[in-house]
Amino acid sequence: MIPLLLQDVHRRDDKYCTYVILWDCGSMSMLRVRWFQSMSAVVFAAALSLAGCSIHKQVVSSTDIQVKGQQQVLWKPDYAYVYSPEQIDLSSQAIFGAAGDLLQWQQKPRRRLRLQAAEIQRHFRVRLASRKSFRNDFATVNNDTYILESAKLPLPLTYSISRWTPLRNGLSGPVIVAFDGHGDCGGECTGKVPERMFQRNGFGRQLVQRGWSVIGVPTAIHKPLSKFHVTFDYPLIWAALATLVVHQATPPSSTPRDLIYLGNAIGGLTAAAASIIDPRSMATVTNGAFFPLEFTRHHYRIKDHTLCHDMRDFASYVPFYALLYPLPLMIQVGEEDGLWMGHGPVKSSDWFSGLPRGATSDETVGAALLLERLWTRTGQDFSLAVHPGGHEDLDVSRADQFLRPLLPGNSKRHTLSR
């Protein structure tokens, strides 16, 4: 029994791992323990054994252990993954009261994220290492490579951004800061220049061809930043690094809000986090980054970066996204996205845990309608854009349509400050 318990202690990694010990010292008793109490449980069980009690059963209940054939497959980070005891959620007043109640509700969680971002940034020294410029038939391209140094990194991180400025018919005004998903780099990105978004039919390239200036910024860098992930969520880490470098690369313009954060899949969560922490943000567009957080916490695991989409302080993505109010917000989702409504179970594979069920309409559309209420109550711009594509198929046409009214000289102005 004790070796069994020890084996299970070794496996503990998140708050959902619970095990129950039943023992008999004359009468049957039961203890339910969480991972953080697991060592105490081993000592406790050892003491019971020494006292001559019989341990009848220990039941491990963990969503991280899945039975695949005869083998238990475990998807876990290699450290204790700790959730905040208080999960941030909207208050009833923020939902049903006036806009001022929502603004007031935002203060504490936004300050928390901004402090966390500042704490991450404090660990880094940033220097420009090289700048390469070239021109193609429709844009000037500047690839700037920065070196990010930190005592918490195994090696300095080479971090390259790519700024594309249209040669003709460029729109004056805000610059789009764009993030791509895991698909840009086969899961583990390194900090190299984002490429896929600027390739043929890439969303960044299409935006430039429509006149927008776009800065492609790396995301989905896990391994080198894993020490930071012990404490901070990956989307926030990537957002903190992005804003640090983008601010260095683009001095503020004459308007206080001059950046639009736009992202695809995990890059969408990064874009939202960047928009929350950066006072220069004027709008946010995400694609494939709005799905039931609590559902994925329980059931969705990608090998090697199991919960990299998680925001540990939050009860769901609704309060996370609500921190973007009152700035214009477009949430895009693909009808074919397995995390959007209407999908059944998904089989597991050697890199993916699979899903026991699809997401439900209230977890997806219901959550979006709640956000829509917050925005439209005061006439702010909110759009839930369901497009025919899949998880990482950002719809450029609809993003362009949504963002164009925000250009200088257009009538859309945002009256509420935050």
Give me 106's structure tokens: 């935002």
Residue 305 engages Zn ion in binding (rule: CB under 5 A) = yes
Sign of the C-alpha dihedral, residues 4, 8, 9, 11?
Answer: positive
Query: CB under 8 Å to 137, separation ≥6 — which residues?
Result: 167
Count the residues of the shown chain that bind Zn ion, applying the rule CB under 5 A.
2
Query: Residue 252 CB, nearest distance to Zn ion (Å)?
Result: 31
Query: CB under 8 Å to 385, separation ≥6 — which residues?
Result: 330, 331, 332, 333, 395, 398, 402
Cβ closer to Zn ion: 33 or 308? 308
Single-letter code of the amino acid located at 164: W
Cβ closer to Zn ion: 12 or 305? 305
Q: Which span (112-120, 272-280, 305-313, 332-340) binds Zn ion, by CB under 5 A?
A: 305-313
Q: Which span (154-162, 253-261, 304-312, 387-395) binds Zn ion, by CB under 5 A?
A: 304-312
Q: Which span (119-127, 280-288, 301-309, 360-368) binds Zn ion, by CB under 5 A?
A: 301-309
Question: How would you label 293-304 residue by residue, b for 16+ Cβ within 10 Å and e otherwise?
Answer: bebbbebbbbee
Cβ closer to Zn ion: 48 or 239? 239
Please state the separation of Cα 287 from the chain's center in Å: 12
**Binding mask 197-236 vs Zn ion (x if CB under 5 A, - otherwise)?**
----------------------------------------
Of all residues in the shown chain, the one whose CB is closest to Zn ion is 308
Q: Which of 308, 322, 324, 394 binds Zn ion (CB under 5 A)?
A: 308
Residue 293 engages Zn ion in binding (rule: CB under 5 A) = no
Cβ closer to Zn ion: 308 or 367? 308
CA–CA–CA angle 209, 215, 216 (5° rounding): 95
Query: CB under 8 Å to 404, separation ≥6 — which residues?
Result: 410
**396 membership: H or E segment, kind and range:** helix 396-403
Alpha carbons 372 and 157: distance in angstroms, whole number: 39
Beta strands in 150-268 (DSSP E): 157-166, 175-179, 214-217, 259-264
Q: Which span (16-24, 292-300, 308-316, 369-377) binds Zn ion, by CB under 5 A?
A: 308-316
Query: Residue 309 CB, nearest distance to Zn ion (Å)?
Result: 7
Residue 239 engages Zn ion in binding (rule: CB under 5 A) = no
**Binding mask 253-292 vs Zn ion (x if CB under 5 A, - otherwise)?**
----------------------------------------
Residues near Zn ion (CB under 5 A) are 305, 308
